Chain A
Amino acid sequence: MTDDTTRPDRDPSPTPDFSMVMASAVHDMKNSLGMLLHSLDELREELSPSVTQSPRFNTLRYEAERVHSDLVQLLGLYRLDQSNLSAHIEEHYVPDYLEAQLARHVPLLDGRGIDYEIAAEAVSGFFDADLLTGVLNDTLNNAIRYTHKQIRISNREEDGYLVLQVADDGNGYPSSMLSATPDTAAPIDFTSGSTRLGLYFANAVAHLHREGGRSGFVHLYNGGPLGGGVFEIHLP
C-alpha cells in the first residue's frame, strides 16, 4: 500500500514529487551541516583562544547552526504538511531536558563569553522532546546571537501549563514581531527572514500539544528577568 491518502492530487506523469525531492535534499544538507558543526567544535578545541573567541569564528558557528536549525524546522514542516507529523508526548524530567538543550550551545556561549544560567524546577513535563528541541535550539541560537552578556532558561507551572522560558539581556524583539500573532494557517512571509520560520515552527509545535481541550501556545515579550527578549512556550 502506498501513501496515496496523504496526497490527494497525484501527478499522473512519472516525474517524482518535487516536495519529496526537496525534503530528501534538505535532509542531506542538514546532515552535512551537522558534520560541519561537529568539525567546528573540534577545531575550537585545537585552536588558540585568540581565534576561537574572534567574532568571525563565532559568526561561522552561529550561521551554520542557524541554517541547520532552519533545515530541521523545514523537515518538521514538511512532515506536518504531509499530515504524518503527530506529537509523541512522553513524560520528561524538565531539568535534564533543559540542561541537554543548553549543553549543545556551550561552545558558542563560551566563544562569545556569555554567562548562562538554568533555573529549573525539579518537575516532570509532558511533551514531544524531538519537536521541542527543534524549537528551543533555534530560540537559544537566536538568544545567543542577540543577547549582550547573559541568557537564562527556566521552567515554571502556570495555570496548569508547563512554561519553558528563554530570556536574554539584549535589545529585545522588534515590535513587528511582538505585534504579529503568527497563525499556523497563514503563509510565511519569506521577506522577513528566517526568524519568522522559527516562530512559525514554534507555533505549529505548540499547537500540536493538546490536552483536554487546551492547546499550547507561544508568547514573546520584552523585559522579563534579564530585561531583554523573552521567549515562552506554554504546554498544556
Chain B
Amino acid sequence: MSSPRPQSQSGNQPIDFSKLRVLVVDDFDNFRLSMRQMLRGMGIGHIEACATGSAAIQSCTYDQFDIVLCDYNLGSGKNGQHVLEELRHRKLLRRTSLFIMVTAETSKEMVMGAREYQPDGYLTKPINQASLSQRLNALLQQRAVLLPINREIDLDNLPKAISLCTQMLPQQPRYRTWILKTLSDLYYQVGDYSHARKICEDVLQSRDLSWARLGLGRILIAEQRYGEAIQALQTLIERQPDLVEAYDQLARAQSLAGKSGTAQRTLEQATALSPNAILRQKQLATLASRNQDMDTACQAWRQTVHLGRHSIHDQPEHYLGLGRSLCDLSEDDTSDEGRARADEALRALALVRKRFPEADDVPDLSRLIEARVLQGQKRVEEADAIITPLIESGDRLSPGAELELARTLFARDRRDEAKKRLMALSQRCEGDAEIQSAIEALLDEPVGFRKRLQARRLTREGIQAFEKQDLEAAAETFAEALALVPAHPALNLNLVQVRLRQIDQGADRHALIQQCRQCLAQLDSLPEGHQQYRRFQSLKRKVEALS
C-alpha cells in the first residue's frame, strides 16, 4: 500500500488513544467484533461491547466512558435514541463524553425522534477503519478544544461557560458554529434573552441559517413576543418544511398566544412528519384535550403510551390521559365501539399500576377513572365496588385523586357528595391556583364531555344572536344550554343579562324577572374568588333594583 492514509491538514494535536474508554453497542455479533478490531487497530486502550440498550445503560451506570458508539437500530428493545436520552437524562454520560450514533440511514430525519438530546456525531454504515478513525479523530479533536466549556456546563457553572465561549470564539474559527449555538443557548438558559437574541440576529445578518432562525423564535417566545415569534417561525417553515423543531416552537408560540386550535393543527403537521417523538405526541394530546378534540387527544395519548415503552419519558399521566380520553369517548356508548374503547381504557389503567407500582396516587387515580369507565358502560355495581371502599376507608386522598373522585361521583349522579368534597378540597388547597381553577371548572360543568361540548356550542350561538340584537333567540339558546349545565355561572349570568336588556326595551317584566331570580339562585353559593363573582354581584343588584 503505497499511499498514505488521509491525514489531517490542520496540525491537530495528537490524541493518546491508549487512555480512551469506548463502549460499542450493537445487536449484531459480527459488527461488535469488527468494531472492536478497528478500535484496537487505532490503539484504543479499553473497549467494551454489549448487544442491547438496557445493557448499555447498565454499563454506563457503573463505568465512565469517553466514547459511546451506539447503533440506532437495536432490535426489539430500546433503540439508540432511547439510550441517548436515558444516559443524558440520568446524567450517566458527561457532556465531555462523546455519544456517536451509528446508523444505516443516510437521512438523519428518519432517526431523529425527540431532539431534546442530540448525539455528538453520526457514523453511517458501512464503516471501515479509515472512516472510523477519521471521524473519531475529528470528534476527539473537537472534544479536546471544547473541553473547558463543556466541563463548566457539566458543573452547572454557566456564567463561566459563557465567558469561555466568548473568549474562544475568535480563536477557534473551526468550531465557530458550535460556539455560537452554545453561547446563545447558555444566554437563553441564564435568562439573558437580549444577548441570546443578538447572536442569532448577527448570524442571520450574514446568512439565513435555520438554527439561528429557530433559536430566534425560541427566544422571542421566552420574551413573550409571540406575534414576532410566530412570524419568524412561519417564515422558517416556509423555507424548510421538513424542520420538525420549527413546528414544535411554532405550536408553543401559538398556544401561548391563546390560539390553541391553530397550535393543535401545527402539532398535527409535526407529528405527521415525525411520529416517533414521545414528547411531541404528549404535547399534542394535552392540547387536543384542552380543545375538547377527544378523538385526536385519544389517538395522541395512545401513541404517547406506545412510544413510552422503552423511553425514559414514560410517565403515569400518559396512561391516565389515555384512560380519561377513552372514558369520555365511551361514556353512555354501549355499542361495540363504545365497549371496545372502554376495554382499552381498562387495559391502560391496569397497565399503569403494573408499570408504576411505586407511584403515589396512581392506584387511586387509575381506579377512579376505571370506575367512571364502568359507570359509562352501565356496569354500576362494579363502579360502586371501587368507589365505596375508597370513600369508606377514610384515607386522605391526594388533591388530584379528590378531583378524580368528584368527577366520578358527578358521573355516578352523586352530585351533592361531589360538591361537598370539592368544597372541602377548595379549603384544603387554598393557595393552589391550579387546583382551585380545576375545582371551578368542574363545578361549572360537572357533565361528560359531549354535553360540555354541546353547551359550549350553544353558548357561542347565544352570544352571536345577542350581538345581532336577536334577544329572544339568544335567551332561548342560553336556556337550552343551561338545561345541560344548570349551575354554569357564566351561562346563568348571560341569560340574566339578555333578560335585563329585554326589560330595558319594554318587555313584560314580570315573567322575565322571575327567570332572572331562578338563574341567580343557582349561583347562591358562588365563592368570592370565582372569576364571575363581580359580574354576579353587579347583575344581582340590578335585578333587585327592578323588583
Task: Point out residues on A near B: beta carbons under 8 Å.
Answer: 1-3, 30-31, 34-35, 37-38, 41-42, 45, 72, 75, 79, 83-86, 88-91, 93, 95-96, 99-100, 102-104, 106-107, 109-110, 113-116, 118, 120, 122, 124, 126, 130, 133-134, 211
Is there contact, CB below 8 Å, between B127 and A211?
no
- 21 A–B contacts, CB within 8 A, in A order: A1-B269, A30-B106, A38-B31, A38-B126, A41-B126, A42-B30, A45-B129, A85-B242, A89-B210, A95-B10, A96-B138, A99-B138, A100-B135, A100-B138, A104-B128, A110-B1, A114-B3, A118-B6, A126-B207, A126-B209, A130-B107
Report which of A38, A91, A114 forms a contact with B125, defined as CB distance below 8 A: A38
Chain B residues bordering chain A, tally (CB within 8 A): 49
B173 CB contacts on chain A under 8 angstroms: 124
User: Which residues of chain A come closer than 8 Å to B235, judged between CB atoms?
Assistant: none
Partner pick for B241 among A84, A89, A130, CB 8 A cutoff = A84
Chain A residues lying within 8 Å of B104, measured Cβ to Cβ, are 31, 34-35
Taking CB atoms, residues of chain A closer than 8 Å to B273 are 84
By a CB distance below 8 angstroms, the chain A residues around B268 are: 1
Q: Which residues of B contact A116 (CB under 8 A)?
A: 3, 6
A45-B129, A91-B177, A110-B1 known, 15 other contacts, Cβ within 8 Å: A3-B272, A34-B104, A38-B126, A41-B126, A45-B37, A75-B107, A84-B242, A86-B239, A90-B209, A95-B9, A99-B6, A103-B131, A106-B128, A109-B3, A115-B3
B2 near A102 with CB under 8 A, answer no
Chain B contacts of A109 at CB under 8 A? Answer: 3
Closest 3 CB pairs of A and B: A106-B130, A38-B126, A103-B131
Minimum CB distance partner of B209 in chain A: A89
Q: Is the CB of B3 within 8 A of A130?
A: no
Query: A34 with B125: in contact, given A1-B268, A106-B131, A124-B173 (CB under 8 Å)?
Result: yes
Q: Indicate whether B166 reaches chain A with its CB closer than 8 angstroms.
A: no
Looking at the assembled complex, report how far the CB atom of B247 sits from the nearest CB atom of chain A, in whole angstroms.
Answer: 11
The distance in angstroms between the C-alpha atoms of A134 and B107, with both chains bound, is 10
Within B3-29, the residues touching A (CB, 8 Å) are: 3, 5-6, 8-10
- A75 / chain B contacts, CB cutoff of 8 Å: 106-107
B37: which A residues are within 8 A, CB to CB?
45
Q: How far is the CA of A221 from the CA of B75 in the complex (A)?
A: 47
State which of B30, B124, B128 has its C-beta within 8 Å of the C-beta of A107: B128
- Least CB distance, A26 to chain B, in whole angstroms: 11
Is B449 part of the binding interface, using a Cβ–Cβ cutoff of 8 Å? no
Note all chain B residues with C-beta closer than 8 A to A120: 9
Contact A104–B131 (Cβ < 8 Å)? yes
How distant is the Cα of A114 from the Cα of B113 in the complex, in angstroms?
Answer: 41
| Chain B residues, CB < 8 A from A86 | 239-243
Least CB distance, B265 to chain A, in whole angstroms: 7
Q: Which residues of A are found within 8 Å of B1, using beta-carbon distances?
A: 110, 113
- Whole-angstrom distance from the CB of A125 to the nearest CB of chain B? 11
Cβ contact within 8 Å between A130 and B177: no
CB neighbours of B211 from chain A (8 A): 90
- Contacts known (A34-B126, A41-B128, A91-B176); A103 close to B6, Cβ less than 8 A: yes
Q: Could you tell me the distance between the alpha carbons of A114 and B106 in the complex, rounded to whole angstroms?
A: 27
- Within B86-128, the residues touching A (CB, 8 Å) are 104-108, 124-128
- Taking a contact as CB atoms closer than 8 A, the residue among A83, A99, A114 that contacts B134 in the complex is A99
Complex Cα distance, B243 from A30, in Å, reads: 24
The answer to the question of B174 belonging to the interface, with a C-beta cut-off of 8 Å to chain A, is yes
CB proximity to A under 8 Å, residues B26-47: 30-31, 34, 37
CA distance A68 to B243 in the complex (A): 26
In the bound complex, how far is the Cα of B1 from the Cα of A19, in angstroms?
A: 45
B207 contact set on A, CB distance < 8 A: 89, 126, 211
| B216-261 contacts to A (CB < 8 Å) | 239-243
Q: Which residue of A lies closest to B31 (CB)?
A: A38
Q: Name which of B2, B126, B207, B208 has the most chain A CB atoms within 10 A of its CB.
A: B126
* A118 contacts B128, C-beta separation under 8 Å: no
Q: How far is the CB of A109 from chain B (nearest CB, A)?
A: 7
CA distance A3 to B270 in the complex (A): 11
Nearest CB of B to A37, in Å: 4
Residues of the B chain whose Cβ atoms lie less than 8 Å from the Cβ of A115: 2-3
